[in-house]
Structures are given as structure tokens and as C-alpha cells.
Amino acid sequence: MKKSKIGTTLPMAGLPQGGETLGNIGPAPSGLNLANHFLIAMPSMEDPIFGGAVVYVCEHNEKGVLGVVINKPTDMTMEVLFDRIDLKVAEGLRSHVVDEPIMFGGPVQDDRGFVLHSPGGRYSSSLNVTEEVAFTTSIDVLEAVASGAGPARMLVSIGYAGWSPGQLEEELSRNGWLTVGADAHVLFDLPIDERYNAAIKLLGIDPMMLATEAGHA
């Protein structure tokens, strides 16, 4: 079975590399900063990857946008992932942890793993997005999970969604996405199939009305 590359530190827009700090990374040229926002695909979007998606934006700066799709599960579970990366699961680890599905986080580096989680641990390649959400690319967070000492809340994905500088702004100008401030409850706690409608409701919009409007556009 092919081994995952989740243990490799990844060069990505927004994540500090080689001693670089977030303070050295400037804002997006547009001045727009959608970090800690949801991107919600418009119902009319027919893209096979992003249609019906909710993306959590981890970072948005002059290097581009990095996000993770939070509502498209793969057929892989945490148990399978632990097996692929040779992690022994602690006795008595909560069954809902090992049975949790892995998300399809996006089409970029889709053979690698990424973890959104509640902050608290010290991991070798990690970015605190807010006081409620951190983004980690190093295997030590999964080692902590397997030992029973991992984050209280988490979402594990294979791959991530990335946009080059100005690309997302262009898509927004063409009304491809709705944007709204993220809610950690939607991100971590809600059933996967409820996240799209819940994200739309954060805008004060009835999802059914939005679908109707899109159908008559």
C-alpha cells in the first residue's frame, strides 16, 4: 500500500518556511483578507471539484490563498490513514476518532495530509489561524492523536485548495463564491452533510431561496 507523505513539511502560500515569520508576509495586493472565512460555492457552480464545496481559508496574503474543503469526505478513515503512516493507535482510543472520514481538502498536493484543529499542542509545522483554529502539516499532530493526546477538535484532509495571487479575487468578481466569517462549530462539530447549508445560513440567507434564485439566473 502506498505510504502517505503527511510527514513532510510543505512549502505553501501563507505557511512560514525556513525561519520565515508571518510578519514578513504582506497582505494581498487587493487589501482583501479572507483568512478565517468560509468560501461557499454558489449553487450554480458546476465545477467537478468545487461544486457544492465549503472551503475554510487558512491564509490570504501576497503569496495567494490557502484553504481546505471541509464538506467532501473521501472513502478513507482515520484508521486507514494511521495504518498507512505506520502509527499504532492507543488502546481505548475513541472509536469515533478512528472511524472519522478524511476530507478531500482540494486538488493541490492531494497525496499529502493536512490537519485543521483546535490550538493547544506544539507541532513542528503549524499555523495558528485564530484562537479556535490551527492548521498543521507535520505528522506530530497525528502522532498525538494516535496516542490519545491530540487536539480536542480536528478535521483531517488529503490535499488543499490554493489560489495564486489575484486568482480568487477574480473568481469572486464573477460571483463564483459567497464569503462569510467562519464558525468553528460549523467547521468541527456539525455533520459533514449539514455544513454547506449551515455556512449559507451564517449569511442570513435561506439556502432554499438561494438555490431557487440560482435556478432562475
Question: Tell me: the pLDDT tens digits for 32-47?
Answer: 899 999 999 998 888 9
13 within domain boundaries: no
Distance (Å, whole) CA 153 – CA 82: 17
168 within domain boundaries: yes
pTM (predicted TM-score): 0.85
15 within domain boundaries: no
Domain count, the chain: 1
Structural domain boundaries enclosing 192: 34-215
4 within domain boundaries: no
159 within domain boundaries: yes
- CATH number for 164: 3.40.1740.10
Question: Tell me: the pLDDT tens digits for 79-120?
Answer: 899 988 888 888 777 666 888 999 999 999 988 999 999 998
12 within domain boundaries: no
C-alpha cell at 169: 479575487
Of 9-18, 31-40, 125-134, the least confident: 9-18
9 within domain boundaries: no
129 within domain boundaries: yes
Distance (Å, whole) CA 73 – CA 157: 8
